Structure 1
Amino acid sequence: MKSGPGRAAGGRRRSPGLRWAAVALALAAAAAAAFVLVGNSGGGTGRRAVTPDEANRLAITRFRNYQAGGRAVTITVPSAAGGLVVTGSVDYRAGIGYGVVRGTGRDASGDGLIQWTVGAVLVHPLADVPAAAPPAPPASGWYRRPLQASGSSLDSSLAIALSLGSDRPDNAELLPQNGAARIGQDTVDGHPVDVMTGPDARARAGTSSTVRYWIGSDGTMYRVRAAVASERQPLVIDFDTRKYVPVRPAPGITPAR
């Protein structure tokens, strides 16, 4: 990861009530390429329209993240240079993510702490990366840059992770009409889940954007997976891979709420 001279990071206030259309637009802009349907999930009977119960769970899944305040995440970022893994937490009320980033191959040069908002990425390089980020971010040593709207699979993944929370449920009645579908069934860390896609965003975003959600019986989101056209492997966001640690803003970061 490249970063410019260190300076305090400013926050950007998110508009309330983020909807599926806005999520789709954010995904398309973040990747600078179409997201495409990824592989087959485990089990199931194939793609079909969501039932009313499934639509209700899909409608509340991002709201559940917001209700929880934040979730522990592991973000697996595809990269031709070797790949990155971000392990940490996302505060869905403050609009901030924070954790450690590790890479393989050439990507290992960017190892360290990372914090991000919808508008900025802060990196604190470390030669010896800890298993988890310290609860209190370092007071200095951060390098700030804008979150890139295109050309970076890391920034695409960070933007998607932040977009997976909403301060209110979506309209369950509209989801089937707009193309939401159930793909199949699976199990994530012992949790039975249904694999679903959100509404088709082609008419709104000018792209065949789509993303898969692994959702439990109560609407809890356990995994999100999407493919970026420029990468062979999908980006994957797994939730609750460890205990959630509340996010404290790095110096200069202003929470969205």
Structure 2
Amino acid sequence: MAALLVAGSGSAPAVPRALTSDQANRLAITRFRNYQAGGRAVTITVPGTAGRLIITGSIDYRDKLGYGAVHGTGRDTSSDGLIEWTATTVFVHPMANTPADAPASPPGSGWYGRPLQTSGSSLDSSLAIALSLGSDRPDNAELLPQNGAAWVGQGRLNGHQVDVMTGPSARATSGTGGSVRYWIGSDGTMYRVHVGVASESQPVVIDFDSQKYVPVRPLPGVTPTP
């Protein structure tokens, strides 16, 4: 993960500041930008007491469908493999030697499906959060500050000039701890998100454009849920 240098001290200011009109407008459109793009390449870092899971892949924000390769770090490889998910269902494909990047065409067999848990699972909370970061319309810029959004820093992230803003906890899906932080570019593009989850002391980290976007192909019989 690239480091973010926040103006002043190298870390976020202790006291968040009120959003300017421009910052509120950028925060209001940042999820809509993902929807406009159609899909984004993502790296999702899932916290866990037994070690982290890293999901490297893509999310189709029009069809609400994610797909990627899963690797454990600081833990065993029992959870490694491929994953595809919708707002309601998770499909996993265990692999002994998982590639760094998921193949563009998912395997036609060897998948196991289950319902996506709405609480108690940091993995499922992370998957749901990642899908929720796209919207077919902008949020209300005037309401964001009233609901707790604020500016907390600025700097550069992977070559992009960004502002760091907290978002209303209502944006987060169930199972989150209510703390949401966005790294947003000058045009409202989302580059990183940190979200606290109730079951873990460390946040979920979602990085965008971490690799080339590969369109997500649904598994046979998989229907995304709006």
SS in 1 for 2:178: coil
8 Å Cα contact 1:201-1:208 kept in structure 2: no
1:43 and 2:12 matched: no
* Aligned AA (1:113): L
1:88 and 2:57 matched: yes
SS in 1 for 2:179: coil
Q: How does 1:1-257 map to 2 (within 5 A)?
A: 42-43=6-7, 45=13, 46-201=15-170, 209-256=178-225
1:79-135 CA-to-partner distances (Å, cap 9, x unmatched) read: 111110000000000110000001135452011000001101100011111121111
Distance 1:55 1:227 in 2: 22
What fraction of aligned residue pairs are identical, expressed as a percent?
A: 72
Deviates more, 1:225-234 or 1:55-64: 225-234
Larger relative CO (CA 8 A, sep 6+): 1 or 2? 1
**Structure 1, unaligned runs of 5 or more:** 1-39
TM-score, normalised to structure 1's length? 0.78
Distance 1:208 1:256 in 2: 25
Seen in structure 2, the aligned counterparts of structure 1 residues 208 and 86 have a Cα distance that, compared at 3 Å, is closer
Distance 1:147 1:247 in 2: 19
* Aligned AA (1:198): G
SS in 2 for 1:251: coil
CA root-mean-square deviation: 2.0
SS in 2 for 1:158: helix
Count, aligned residues? 215
Seen in structure 2, the aligned counterparts of structure 1 residues 82 and 180 have a Cα distance that, compared at 3 Å, is same
CA shift for structure 1 position 184 = 0.9
TM-score, normalised to structure 2's length? 0.89
- Larger strand proportion of the pair: 2
**Structure 2, unaligned runs of 5 or more:** none
